[in-house]
Structure 1
Amino acid sequence: MKVINKLSAVAMAVIVANSTSIYAAENTEEVERIEVTGSHIKRTDMEGPSPIQSLSAADLAATGSTDLIGALQKLPVSGAGTFSTQGNSSDDTANGGSSVALRGLGASSTLVLINGRRVAVSPFAKDIETSFVDLNTIPVSAVKRIDILKDGASATYGSDAVAGVINIIMRDDIDGFEVAGKISDTADGGGEEQNFTLLWGSTSDKGYHNFSLDYFKRGDVFYADRDYASTADQRFRGGNNSLSSSGIPGSIEVVRSMLTDAQWNALPTKSIADDGTPVKQTIFADVWGNDKCDESLIIGDICRYDYAPHMSLVPSTERISFNYNGVQEITDDIEGFMEFSAQHASTFIQGAGSPSFTELFMSGDNPNHPLADDADHFLHGVDISMRRRTYDIGNRKKDVDSEYYRAVIGARGSFNDWDWETAYSAIRSSAVEKGFDGFPNKLRAQEAIDKGYWNPFEPSTNTPEGLAFIETTTTRYGSSSMQSFDATVSGEVFELEAGAVAAAFGLEHRYEKIEDNPDSQYLRGEIFGTEATQANGDRDNTALFAEFSVPVLETLELQLALRYENYSDFGNTTDPKVAFRWAPSEDLVVRGSWGTAFRAPSLVQLHLGRTDESPSVIDKERCKITGSELDCEPYEYTAVVAGNKNLQPETSTNYNLGVVWQATEDFSVGVDYWNYDQEDLIKKIGAQKLVDCCGTDANLVVRGPNEGSTPGRIQTIYDTFVNIGGRETDGFDLNLAYKLDTNDMGFFKFDYKLSYALNFEEQSFESDANGNTSIAAEDLNGEYQHPQFRWTASIDWELDNVLTTLSFSHIDAYNDLEDANGDKFKIDSWTTLDASVSYTGFDNLILTAGAANLMNEEAPQAPSESMGIDNKTHNALGRQMYAKFKYNF
């Protein structure tokens, strides 16, 4: 893609984020630590060549969030692809996980570090394809600061640092004991939280040793707990009817291949195709016998089901975490360091009973056939399939138990004016997902139908023994591990007139392995209505890197970086970066950067085995002919996804240009223009796009037999990962900070941060009305899950022993996905207010009370979503009130 220069659009609105807070400007030691992120060369200047935003522990606490994702997802720089545990259901493939996608480029394009080093990804990928570092493995209590590098950094850190870097700095400043606790609850029910923390440590001139023990528990929230999301029939809000076509007791469905010509001709005719062929009715709501479909749920001849009330909106979670971070002097010039983290987490998820879409059959001579006693009915003696819920064995329930361990051991020191550091890291994350209720085994269910153990059309007649026969338990085991060795040396190489040229050289070797294995029932295709993945792969890579800081003038610094990587599974890549920092005066800094970045295909995308999804798809081909609801509204179909070992890495070019102006001692302005240009994006083509473009290609979309000129109903869609198209996005960040110290009214701090996208153009596989395919570019800016801008604003007021914080968060309006007619609903903008009050008047004790979403603003309506809310952009918890304490002794 050609770079689109939008500098004129921001009118030289020069560029770079004022990434440090007023507090950081007053604390030289804090600023020095912040600037380490993004460079292997230590520096003391407050503003470096790359834009960095820093969140202190106090900033995190002010958000009221008990976990990192709660704070990070509110940042304007966070975009599409950011996700929390909200929206987890029994169909989710990464239950209990969360991650951030900077600039909306995807969670897998955002590199997460802990103390400057990589972390292993979660064993379970999100939405089958997205590998991510699970932020829930890191308790807030153990975090000292978070640095967010807002430009590409592959030249420094390697793969995944496409959109930027989130570097989590752990506590190293504990001297004594600290006890803290927090409780919270929501105004609308569910989601109650308890969090208790014990921290202790010691600090001396020989080193420090910091420990933390953290306990966190959150209750679940169901869609039923939020009236506006408590039903999948959103017509009461002007939205869509997304009730499932798999109901109770369900619908009879006939398949052409199972019928004789006479039986097929006896079916009612729904319409006449263009060539005169009758289009037959093939689905009939079950209205026979004692157990009948509720008349209010029969829509379009189909027995529907409202699954929303039974589904988790936020799963319940319990986590206990331990962290150690220590440094000890070994000799005058050498110190050793060690980091250790461990966590056990349990998550409970619930979904509605398993849906069946023609997986099960009943022969025409089965005694339980619903029309067995009606010899005159056209379905008498006909082999039938069905759409129904196995609600009679209960809602689907899963427990996910996960373990996380991380250990780093290393040493650093100096030799002949050169600093050196080396370390070995070992990280392992594992999880066991158990489906313990509500999961039917297809083979047993079919046997039970055939032998009369279980009657799907008369559930009230079924016995406990029959239900126990069809029910099973499921298990999925996953693990992700990483071992790495790194070494870096840095120092001054020679003198120029303006100062010394500093350099850093290093190497890193890394081995990664991932396993994701469902039990044999999944592998044999015996579990229907629930997604599961299978992926097994490993690789190693070796990297060499160099970096130079060149003082061209006393006011101008040039940064040069280069990194070479060799991967065992796809080859080599080399990425450079050039950046500058110009300070023409004490109160003005101009800076910019240019570089290339890459993202290696994840092990899941390379090695994913056959995996079944249940996407909602509109069959536009049939809709144009039949006009029926079943064809013209989103319905679940089976999509088969698999990995692709021929994938190549995504590549990217990015640049940044900006200015930071300290207008007065109390007021600063920062503006930052950013631009990313990606190529060879790795993604699934997508079930809807495949149906739109290739709905009659039997290699991609398997259908039942045609009904004259009318294509048969979709049975299976085949999808996979490919390198396809590119993406370009650009925009600017605006940062304003002001402080006001009054004599009588206290001390005020004001902060405003805006991220505004000028363009978000993505190339993808498209098709026209005639099914002709091409690679087309679409501007997604302002479209689904891509609001054009986000901003946050905060006011801190400190008077005597009271500190009050008000924080506003705004997400711009954007378009929903288009419906069958090509129309798009406008999803409203959303502004929330967080507030907290802390009292510090007691010795060593701080008390705080507050609320997130104080005004209890409902998440805006999103008709394309089954329950009417966009879980990845908005939060449905509502007002969350909390109280907490912190005591030092």
Structure 2
Amino acid sequence: MEGKDKTPLRLRAVLKMSVGWAALMLPVMAAAQEPQLDEPAAPDIIVTGSRVRGAAPVGSTVTTLGRAEMEASSAVTVDRMIKEIPQVFDLGVSENSRGQSGGSGNITYGNSVNLRGIGPYATLVLVDGHRVTNNSRSIDPSVLPSLGVERVEVVADGASAIYGSDAVAGVVNLIPRRSLDGGEFFARSGIASRGDFHETSVGAALGKVFDRGQIMVAYEHVERSNLSGDDRSFFTNDQTRFGGGDYRIARCAPGNINANGTTYAIPAAGVTQGTAGSLVAGTLNKCDELDNQDLAPEQTYNSVNSTGRFEFNDWLSVFYDGFYSKRKFYRKSAYSNARLTVPQTNAFFVRPAGFAGTSYTLDYNFRDDVPTNDSYGSAESWQITPGLRVKLPHDWEFETLYGYGKTKDFSGSYYGINNAALNAALASSDPATAFDPYGLGRTSDAVKALIANQIFLAPTNGRLKTYEARLNGPLFSLPGGDVKVAAGYERQDFTVALGSARGGPTTPITFRHFGRKVDSLYAELFVPVFGASNATPGFERLELNAAVRHDKYSDVGSTTNPKFGINWEPVRWLKLRASYGTSFRAPTIPEIYGNSNNIFGQSYQNPAGGAPLQGYALSGPNLDLKPETASTWSVGADFEPLPNLRFGVTYWDVKYENQVLANLSNLTILGNEAQYAGTNIILRDAAAAARVQELLAQGVALAGGSFPGGNPANVTLFVDGRSQNLGVSITRGIDFTGTWNGELGANDNLTVNLSGTYLTKYNVAVTPTAPLVDRRNVIFNPLKFKGRASVTWDHGPFSTRVLVTHVGGYRNNLATPNQSVKSYTPVDLTFNWRIGDPRESGFFAKGLTVGLEVRNLFDTDPPYVNLAPSGNGSGGYDATASDPVGRLFAISVRKSF
């Protein structure tokens, strides 16, 4: 188990090893690090990607984000630090956007890790090598405070043979601190140069390393304010000034009467029957649909974690790690709007000249009548994982662990539109109980309260029990070294309660309870054919690895997955590597059973241009859902032509089948409508209306929005948003890294780093019968190129770093004609001043670091994207490829004692 057994000697070994991998893969490096690429892992250390002690993953590389890199990062939480790695794409489960597959379940606006854009649930997140409790959807790495993390190890390679489900694109292992001997404190505050966005964080960690063990505890508090779309000019429906479309809508305040196809714009001062002559036929008020909406919600984090280890004697020790985290969020929503049907019985009814009908429709925005239907909630989780380690004869080792944890997520809103009450008020002939849609504010407060009293409460409670037993040691010796094996058994016992309350303010929460049990057996073999003792020209080192794992699920069947790897060093400065394996992902419980069983009214991007289209999406269960499967392989090389110059390159291939796609939150799906032909995922006109009416007859309720004119027969667009095994993807690409370190003088050091990911192929079929289509460099898909480069200059106690992040341009196929989106290249500048000597003892003598940073130094705006603003993210810009915050100034203080 990673990081579990660290005597001082072993600690030095693991740090040396971690730094070595960091030199290959990390985009930001500390100048003082001097890694050795050709050193194997220390005998008692397990590295992410392998279960074998003393063996780094064979055929795969490890990207390490260590203490130096986390402290240098401008991000305030661990999840955002990980997103700085180029292989990580912000697609799916993100606080900024819920529009892509998998994002609809992200009702608490958390973040997870999506390696290479393959899928938000295709990356497995571990803590110290073991699974942790989650909300049955994804794991947010911010459950651990950054001060409590020793390092983050990322293996961007299929690893289901090692770890089981979810490790299709790779594994992220959060390794908590066990080496801290003393204390640390830090505080940071940043503010954007535009708007009132700000973020603050404070934290402290205490640790003690003693002869027989260690103990550590860390705490962190982080606050990030909301970022309102009103503070960013590019988030607007009227994009004509940017050369884009006019996406303004007619549901405005004041609104628009539509009488037998003739529109009448209600004047700004309102209208009564006595002023009906002021209505002009053919006029139309147009407005932004998403005024007041947040681009990113307000978030508050409180997290604590702890580790401990105690050696009873030379062969028996105990250890544990544990954490508690609670993240609260508040997201401001846009003002509610609807197309109303106003009958002539309405107490305030205004009849346009020449209109003889008994009712008409009126497009309306409730901004002046009822509160916005904002979202509130939290994500709370905790887990404790104790373990026992026994050292056996002949260098064998046995470990057993037990994990117990719980999650409690909650999302709620309290001011949804009550369609029944609204329609009753529209029909009322009594001014005291009628609703006034004519801009004069004559609706009584009591009526307004009834109209906006619909609640939506969605709690999710989970519990996880894990049991693990592992055996690890050498089988026999070869001239190249010891042949080693690791084998083990794991059991997961997961229960989840999906709650829901939709309706009036007294609607009770009802829970659906589900469970899943997983029994797993695995084995891994490491064979060093050539090593230091028998190296020969052409074979300085040759290592082989084979692993296999069998998982049996109580609800979705069984699976067996192998993996093979090879490392070959023909010369000391060059290592060639390759791997092949299969992986899988079991569908989550919410994917199978649905977060709810409801219909939601939503605004969809119109690929033909103009105002968004009103459509209705179904959320519900799919009991026929099957696991996803994948085959992965990679080849690569690491070389060190000079002692201070290192490079690494990896070519990888992932074929992913039976991918689960959920289109509930995909508000741009109409741009790919042709690919869904024959699936009934998208229905139009009469077919759409018939399907909605069929669902209503089955008891499926409308949970969001309203039907046009209050009648489901008027529906013209339906989207089946349930999770389904639809997708097939083939993804290929190249990862590259490089670092150069040079001494400019006795107290001057310069470090240059670069890393990036270049996709050579990303072909997708959104349904089993659809053709494979090249989606590389297409909006809301993995982009062809992402890269980072940094230059760090250390001059005595001063350190300056310039960091450049580049996201390549791509094609926006959701606009007509298609748009070429420009690249995005923000530049960050950081300055640190180290005061005191961190090697000294005592509170006042130890090091103090003061930092100044400017994120996005040149205040580079996100590139313009011709896209209507969406309730689930993006609009005028792409939330998955750029940061709308802009320039941010920050100051930080870090103290060791």
Q: Normalising by the residue count of structure 2, what TM-score does the alignment of the two structures yield? A: 0.83
Contact 1:246–1:389, Cα closer than 8 Å, also in 2 = no
- Correspondence for 1:39: 50
> C-alpha distance in 2, partners of 1:304/1:765?
38
- Counterpart secondary structure, 2:503: helix
Per the TM alignment, residue 517 of structure 1 is displaced from its structure 2 partner at its CA by 2.2
Contact 1:352–1:391, Cα closer than 8 Å, also in 2 = no
1:72 and 2:82 matched: yes
- Correspondence for 2:190: 184
1:461 and 2:442 matched: yes
Per the TM alignment, residue 481 of structure 1 is displaced from its structure 2 partner at its CA by 2.7
Per the TM alignment, residue 354 of structure 1 is displaced from its structure 2 partner at its CA by 1.8
The code of the aligned residue for 1:647 comes to L
- Correspondence for 1:587: 573
> C-alpha distance in 2, partners of 1:220/1:100?
22
> C-alpha distance in 2, partners of 1:589/1:51?
11
- Correspondence for 2:862: 859
Contact 1:122–1:134, Cα closer than 8 Å, also in 2 = no
| One of 534, 546, 556 as aligned partner of 1:570 | 556
Contact 1:86–1:313, Cα closer than 8 Å, also in 2 = yes
- Aligned runs of 1:625-704 on 2, under 5 Å? 633-684=611-662, 688=670, 693=677, 695-696=683-684, 702=690
> C-alpha distance in 2, partners of 1:364/1:883?
62
> C-alpha distance in 1, partners of 2:726/2:688?
17
> Identity across aligned pairs (percent)?
23
Per the TM alignment, residue 401 of structure 1 is displaced from its structure 2 partner at its CA by 2.9
Contact 1:589–1:661, Cα closer than 8 Å, also in 2 = yes
- Aligned runs of 1:745-764 on 2, under 5 Å? 746-764=748-766
Contact 1:251–1:388, Cα closer than 8 Å, also in 2 = no
Q: 1:800 to 1:121 in 2, by over 3 A?
A: same
Q: 1:80 to 1:136 in 2, by over 3 A?
A: closer
The code of the aligned residue for 1:466 comes to V
- Correspondence for 2:542: 556
Per the TM alignment, residue 95 of structure 1 is displaced from its structure 2 partner at its CA by 3.3
Per the TM alignment, residue 213 of structure 1 is displaced from its structure 2 partner at its CA by 1.6
| One of 833, 839, 844 as aligned partner of 1:839 | 833
| One of 107, 116, 130 as aligned partner of 1:103 | 116
Q: 1:91 to 1:364 in 2, by over 3 A?
A: farther
> C-alpha distance in 2, partners of 1:521/1:396?
14
| One of 13, 37, 59 as aligned partner of 2:69 | 59
Unaligned runs of 5+ in 1: 1-15, 124-130, 255-266, 268-280, 624-628, 767-773
Any idea what the Cα deviations from partners look like across 1:28-66, whole Å, max 9, x if unmatched? 999659861001101266x74311111112212222111
Per the TM alignment, residue 120 of structure 1 is displaced from its structure 2 partner at its CA by 2.8
Per the TM alignment, residue 93 of structure 1 is displaced from its structure 2 partner at its CA by 4.6
The code of the aligned residue for 1:761 comes to N
- Correspondence for 1:778: 773
Contact 2:661–2:727, Cα closer than 8 Å, also in 1 = no
Any idea what the Cα deviations from partners look like across 1:220-262, whole Å, max 9, x if unmatched? 2211222333x221211112223344322434468xxxxxxxx
Any idea what the Cα deviations from partners look like across 1:819-869, whole Å, max 9, x if unmatched? 3x4x21111101111111111133421111112111111111111241301
The code of the aligned residue for 1:764 comes to V
Per the TM alignment, residue 389 of structure 1 is displaced from its structure 2 partner at its CA by 3.3
Per the TM alignment, residue 73 of structure 1 is displaced from its structure 2 partner at its CA by 2.0
Aligned alpha-carbon RMSD (Å): 3.4
Q: 1:170 to 1:287 in 2, by over 3 A?
A: same
Q: 1:719 to 1:87 in 2, by over 3 A?
A: closer
Per the TM alignment, residue 749 of structure 1 is displaced from its structure 2 partner at its CA by 1.0
> C-alpha distance in 2, partners of 1:735/1:298?
65
- Aligned runs of 1:810-889 on 2, under 5 Å? 810-819=806-815, 821=816, 823-842=817-836, 843-844=845-846, 845-866=848-869, 867-889=875-897
> C-alpha distance in 2, partners of 1:721/1:468?
36
The code of the aligned residue for 1:562 comes to V
> C-alpha distance in 2, partners of 1:192/1:132?
27
Q: 1:68 to 1:454 in 2, by over 3 A?
A: farther
Per the TM alignment, residue 716 of structure 1 is displaced from its structure 2 partner at its CA by 3.9
- Aligned runs of 1:598-637 on 2, under 5 Å? 598-608=584-594, 609-617=596-604, 633-637=611-615
The code of the aligned residue for 1:805 comes to R
Any idea what the Cα deviations from partners look like across 1:117-146, whole Å, max 9, x if unmatched? 1123336xxxxxxx3212332222221111
Per the TM alignment, residue 176 of structure 1 is displaced from its structure 2 partner at its CA by 1.9
Contact 1:290–1:458, Cα closer than 8 Å, also in 2 = yes
Contact 1:402–1:431, Cα closer than 8 Å, also in 2 = yes
- Aligned runs of 1:398-413 on 2, under 5 Å? 398-413=375-390
Q: 1:384 to 1:882 in 2, by over 3 A?
A: closer
| One of 785, 792, 811 as aligned partner of 2:788 | 792
> C-alpha distance in 1, partners of 2:280/2:544?
70
1:243 and 2:256 matched: no
- Correspondence for 1:471: 452
- Correspondence for 1:8: none
| One of 730, 735, 738 as aligned partner of 1:736 | 738
Contact 1:672–1:733, Cα closer than 8 Å, also in 2 = yes
Per the TM alignment, residue 635 of structure 1 is displaced from its structure 2 partner at its CA by 2.1
> C-alpha distance in 2, partners of 1:678/1:553?
35
- Counterpart secondary structure, 1:224: helix
Per the TM alignment, residue 713 of structure 1 is displaced from its structure 2 partner at its CA by 5.5
Q: 1:473 to 1:728 in 2, by over 3 A?
A: same
Per the TM alignment, residue 94 of structure 1 is displaced from its structure 2 partner at its CA by 2.3
> C-alpha distance in 2, partners of 1:253/1:535?
44
Q: 1:34 to 1:835 in 2, by over 3 A?
A: farther
Any idea what the Cα deviations from partners look like across 1:688-736, whole Å, max 9, x if unmatched? 2568746458555649999xxxx97615443432212410010111111
> C-alpha distance in 2, partners of 1:715/1:782?
28
Contact 1:145–1:168, Cα closer than 8 Å, also in 2 = yes
Per the TM alignment, residue 796 of structure 1 is displaced from its structure 2 partner at its CA by 1.3
Report the count of equivalent residues.
806
- Counterpart secondary structure, 1:444: helix
- Counterpart secondary structure, 2:380: strand
- Aligned runs of 1:254-269 on 2, under 5 Å? 267=260
Q: 1:25 to 1:40 in 2, by over 3 A?
A: farther
Per the TM alignment, residue 87 of structure 1 is displaced from its structure 2 partner at its CA by 4.8
> C-alpha distance in 2, partners of 1:214/1:592?
40
Contact 1:405–1:429, Cα closer than 8 Å, also in 2 = yes
Contact 2:630–2:655, Cα closer than 8 Å, also in 1 = yes
Per the TM alignment, residue 806 of structure 1 is displaced from its structure 2 partner at its CA by 1.3
1:365 and 2:345 matched: yes
1:26 and 2:35 matched: yes
Contact 2:685–2:716, Cα closer than 8 Å, also in 1 = no
- Correspondence for 1:94: 107
The code of the aligned residue for 1:593 comes to S
- Correspondence for 2:208: 202
The code of the aligned residue for 1:366 comes to N
Q: 1:23 to 1:17 in 2, by over 3 A?
A: closer
- Correspondence for 2:174: 168
Any idea what the Cα deviations from partners look like across 1:631-667, whole Å, max 9, x if unmatched? x643232211222111111110010101111111100
Q: 1:650 to 1:23 in 2, by over 3 A?
A: farther
Per the TM alignment, residue 332 of structure 1 is displaced from its structure 2 partner at its CA by 2.3
